[in-house]
A and B are shown apart, each in its own frame.
Chain A
Amino acid sequence: MRATRPARNRRRNLAVAVLAGAAAVVPGLSPAAANEVPERVMSLNVCTDQLAMLLAAPGQLISVSELAADPGLSFHHARAAGFAKNRGLAEEVFLERPDLIVTGTYSLHNTTTLLTRLGFRVEAFDYGQTLGTVAPEIRRMGRLLGRSAAAESLATEFESSLAMVERSLCGAAPTAIAYDQNGIAMGSGTLVDSAMQAAGLRNIAAELGFAGMAPFPLELLVQHRPQIIVLSEPLADTPSLADQIAGHPAIRALGQSSTRITLPRGSASCGGPFIIEAIKALRAARETLVPCPPLPGPSG
């Protein structure tokens, strides 16, 4: 997930805060038992949306968040066309009365608290994601939905693809940076940082001591000249100053000495199996700098 979330969620939380006053008078709902297979599942977060869409049985997932259809954030935005959308409002959840709600811990804290108080079963997925959390989260979603077999095969496939990429690496790791809107770099501990490591790249932001998503001075970017600059595509068709940084003359002046790439849209927003697409894109950029011999056998 990227820096886009808090702004949108703030608007939701307002509605939630209004609803919270009414919570006390709502008659208690019987929570679905934890071990039963839920028949009506709602997802309120773009990351859980995508896992749920990949794993849920037909008809089991009754709605996903609006962001699930946003091509800038959601890798599986095309799949979202087949699902009803919610805006993450507790009111919507209350009307739908799902057996299970899946959401993120960070994004909808107030909603989650309120829904739990109202007697709904809420499963929150952690916001701090790295490559290491991807397979366990797939398996957890599988258990929650009663779709463990599908989840196991998806997780295994992901793990083997990841291992394949890691085995294909050779030579010295080129330097790289993920330089986002507004000059924000992905430092240590971020999903993109772990993706860079997996793709055999040295993240200079992490090496210079930047942790999390941190403002990274343009000067340092020029001074350290990472061989690969991962720029983000504009998130929407409408302009923002945040997107101007990618076109700064200083970045353009780096010329051929830095390879500029963008990741497939939505592939690095969430710790889902599709992060492998981001890793492959990073790996392909590395290949242009440090070619490695092809691996025997079919590639993932």
Chain B
Amino acid sequence: MNTLRLNAGLSAAVIVLLALSLLVGPARFGPLDSLRALIAGGDEATIIIMREIRLPRALLGVLIGFSLGASGAVLQGFLRNPLAEPGIIGVSATASLGAVIVFYSGMAGASILALPAGALAGALVAVLILMAIAARHGSTLTLILSGVALSSLAGALTSLALNLSPNPFASYEIIFWLLGSLKDRSMVHVWIALPLMLAGWAMLFASARALDALTLGEESASSLGIGMGRTRLMVVGGVALCVGAATAVAGAIGFVGLVVPHLVRPLTDRMPGSLILPAGLGGAALLLAADVACRVAIPARELNVGVLTALIGAPFFLWLVARARREAF
């Protein structure tokens, strides 16, 4: 399929799902009233619900989905590893740990503005550790196993930090940090995440050319004029910014970055660089759809969207592993 047409189709899907996300909620009013309240005005309660509750939720679905999808595509391309993904290799879990340490220790007051700093630091540490491991042992399996270990460690430390908090609610928040949610976010969260994510996207896209060349390995890429130092900086920085910002506002949402690149890759020329945009758009569409499904499935006891993406993603991951073994990497 033509890349342009693919991206146009995915963009249309994102717009439709964005509208759907804006229209679904426990407070029921007609689609026209909803959109009027969003854009023009109308009943005050409807305006508040649309602009302060549903809009930030839908926007975060787009921003976080795009960030995770694009990060997954870039990690897979950079590591030439079809199983690489921020959640699986432990970047999200470590970002959660960073956010938890900064927030619950109270070292930055109770402000949620402190969350991204911790989450970014956590994500950065994780990406650096994994890159070092990948540089030393090139095998797909080593990286994934290291990621699993890192993920478990970060999850355990997150639980520990929350259990040690004197605030009795903290221990209930383990699930949010390990299986994220978009529930009751506000525009404040959007403004926190947006600038970081835009910077992250810029860095990810700046690595596109290098990812194409890296299809042939680092030596070939270097000989094609790719500065590997700069490329590493772009990938590490871009993934840390995207995953850090996403995790800071919505907790760890896994598997989006795994599933989406695999779904859209066959529709592209398979160049890792040209996969970034469709993977981002596909990620936005998937997360929006999952978030709508969470609200529709059990409205009374709303599911965390991270639970749903894991329910979809983990079996997919197993299938990939089984298939990859057959194809002998």
Contacts and interface: CB of A to CB of B under 8 A. Distances in A.
A223 B169 contact: no
Given A217-B25, A242-B173, A245-B184, A253 B167 contact: no
Contact of A248 (B106, B171, B186): B186
B166 A236 contact: yes
Contacts of A7: 168, 171-172
A254 interface: yes
A27 interface: no
Given A219-B49, A222-B48, A253-B52, A235 B167 contact: yes
B131 interface: no
Contacts of B170: 238, 240, 242
Interface in A185-239: 214-215, 217-220, 222-223, 225, 234-239
B25 A4 contact: no
A235 B171 CA distance: 13
A243 interface: yes
Nearest to A250: B52
Counting chain A residues whose Cβ lies within 8 A of the other chain, the interface size class is: 20 to 34
Contacts of A240: 104, 165, 167, 169-170, 173
A249 interface: yes
Given A239-B106, A241-B176, A250-B48, A218 B168 contact: no
Contacts of B153: none
Contacts, number: 101
Given A222-B45, A236-B166, A249 B110 contact: no
A290 to B, nearest CB: 22
A63 B105 CA distance: 31
A236 B167 contact: yes
Nearest to B112: A244
A67 to B, nearest CB: 9
Contacts of A217: 25-27, 302
B103 interface: yes
A103 interface: no
Contacts of A220: 26-27
A242 B181 CA distance: 13
A156 interface: no
Interface in B166-193: 166-173, 176, 183-184, 186-188
Interface in B13-30: 25-27
A153 interface: no
B49 A222 contact: yes
A182 B172 contact: yes
Contacts of B53: 218-219, 222, 250
Contact of A219 (B27, B103, B109, B110): B27
Interface string A1-41: 00110011000000000000000000000000000000000
A8 B165 CA distance: 12
A181 interface: yes
Given A240-B169, A250-B53, A250-B186, 14 more contacts: A183-B183, A183-B184, A217-B302, A219-B54, A222-B27, A222-B52, A223-B27, A236-B166, A238-B105, A239-B109, A240-B104, A240-B173, A243-B110, A253-B52
Closest 3 CB pairs of A and B: A239-B110, A242-B169, A4-B168
Interface of B: 25-27, 45-46, 48-49, 52-54, 103-106, 109-110, 112, 165-173, 176, 183-184, 186-188, 300-302
